[in-house]
């Protein structure tokens, strides 16, 4: 079972709590910055419980295809949509490293906090590049290794001393997803690395927008 399937029920609460509800602000700000046009068809890659999709849709009347490996996360996303969404939302269980779409399908794509969960990030980015149309934009939102040394220490301590123990306490057991998050903090990418990954996948005009004192970054690129 995908480890996110095991934490699906608590995912939103813990995310909002540990980020002091910042995660919602970062997705909202990202949606504003990406500024997709009405009628664009956008892919939410690794949508989880859908918060990036909802932020995008709030900003503009898009058609969104949201995919995730975990059916449990998709079920929770469905529960969060009370109205009929069939005219703007398509949900699909799919592997982001082998997307079931033709090339040049989407006007743009977003991926929120998915990068480090992929077995092969480069394969995921290359798949996004394949299915996005020429001139389409991608927004890749992730925790990152802050450029500032002091923030690197603060961020490391926060994940080690707050997120890991309280994540486990809150769940009543040792949770692989949070253990995994902690284990991979050291492996957070720098913003320079994230830009080079997007460039390596073929995206142009790659740049970074920083959130939360440089601990979270939106990397934007154009196909």
SS3 of 104, please? coil
Pairing of strands 132-143, 216-222: antiparallel
Rank residues 6 and 196 by Cβ distance to ligand SAM and give the closer one. 6
CA–CA separation, 143 and 115 (whole Å)? 9
For residue 146, the minimal CB distance to ligand SAM (Å) is: 19
Q: How far is the CB of 172 from ligand SAM (least distance, A)?
A: 20
CA atoms of 145 and 152, how far apart (whole Å): 6
Q: Please report which residue ranges of 81-148 form alpha helices under DSSP H.
A: 121-131
Q: Which stretch binds ligand SAM (CB under 6 A): 80-88, 90-98, 157-165, 191-199?
A: 90-98
CB of 195 to ligand SAM, least distance (A): 20
Q: Which of 18, 52, 54, 106 binds ligand SAM (CB under 6 A)?
A: 52
Query: Do residues 143 and 215 make contact, with C-beta atoms less than 8 angstroms apart?
Result: yes
What is the 3-state composition of the chain as percent helix, strand, coil, each rounded to the nearest 5? 50, 25, 30
**Helix count (H) and strand count (E) of the chain?**
9, 7
Q: How far is the CB of 114 from ligand SAM (least distance, A)?
A: 4
Residues 56 and 36: beta-carbon distance below 8 Å: yes
Interacting residue with ligand SAM among 18, 106, 113, 188 (CB under 6 A): 113
Q: According to CB under 6 A, which one of 30, 41, 48, 54 is a site residue for ligand SAM?
A: 48
Residue nearer to ligand SAM on the CB measure, 119 or 150: 119
Number of residues that bind ligand SAM (CB under 6 A): 20
What gap in Å lies between CA 17 and CA 193, rounded to an integer? Answer: 28
Please report, as residue ranges, which positions from 131 to 150 form the binding site for ligand SAM (by CB under 6 A).
none
Only one residue has tokens 């990202």, namely 30
Give the nearer residue to ligand SAM in terms of CB position, either 40 or 72: 72
**Residue 166 tokens, joined:** 């309280």
Which residue's C-beta sits nearest to ligand SAM? 48
126 touches ligand SAM by CB under 6 A: no
118 binds ligand SAM (CB under 6 A): yes
Min dist. Cβ of residue 204 to ligand SAM (A): 24
* Contact between residue 12 and residue 172 where contact means Cβ atoms under 8 Å apart: no
The contact pattern for ligand SAM, residues 70-89, with x = CB under 6 A and - = no contact, is x--x----------------
Q: Report the C-alpha gap between 90 and 79 in whole angstroms.
A: 14
Residues of this chain that interact with ligand SAM (CB under 6 A) are: 2, 4, 46-48, 51-52, 67-70, 73, 95-97, 112-114, 117-118
């Amino acid at each position: 079972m995908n480890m996110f399937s095991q934490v699906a029920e608590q995912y939103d609460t813990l995310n909002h709590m540990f980020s002091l509800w910042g995660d919602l602000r970062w997705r909202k700000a990202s949606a504003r910055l990406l500024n997709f046009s009405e009628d664009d068809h956008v892919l939410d890659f690794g949508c989880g419980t859908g918060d990036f999709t909802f932020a995008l849709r709030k900003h503009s009347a898009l058609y969104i295809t949201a995919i995730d490996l975990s059916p449990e996360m998709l079920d929770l996303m469905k529960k969060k949509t009370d109205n009929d969404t069939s005219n703007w939302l398509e949900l699909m269980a799919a592997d982001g490293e082998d997307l079931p779409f033709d090339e040049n399908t989407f006007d743009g794509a977003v991926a929120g906090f998915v990068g480090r969960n992929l077995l092969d990030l480069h394969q995921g980015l290359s798949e996004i590049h394949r299915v996005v149309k020429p001139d389409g934009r991608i927004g890749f939102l992730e925790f990152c290794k802050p450029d500032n040394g002091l923030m690197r220490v603060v961020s490391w301590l926060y994940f080690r001393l707050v997120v890991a123990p309280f994540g486990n306490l809150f769940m009543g057991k040792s949770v692989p997803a949070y253990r995994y998050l902690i284990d991979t903090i050291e492996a957070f990418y720098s913003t320079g690395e994230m830009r080079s990954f997007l460039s390596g996948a073929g995206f142009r005009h790659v740049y970074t927008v920083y959130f939360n004192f440089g601990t979270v970054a939106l990397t934007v690129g154009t196909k």
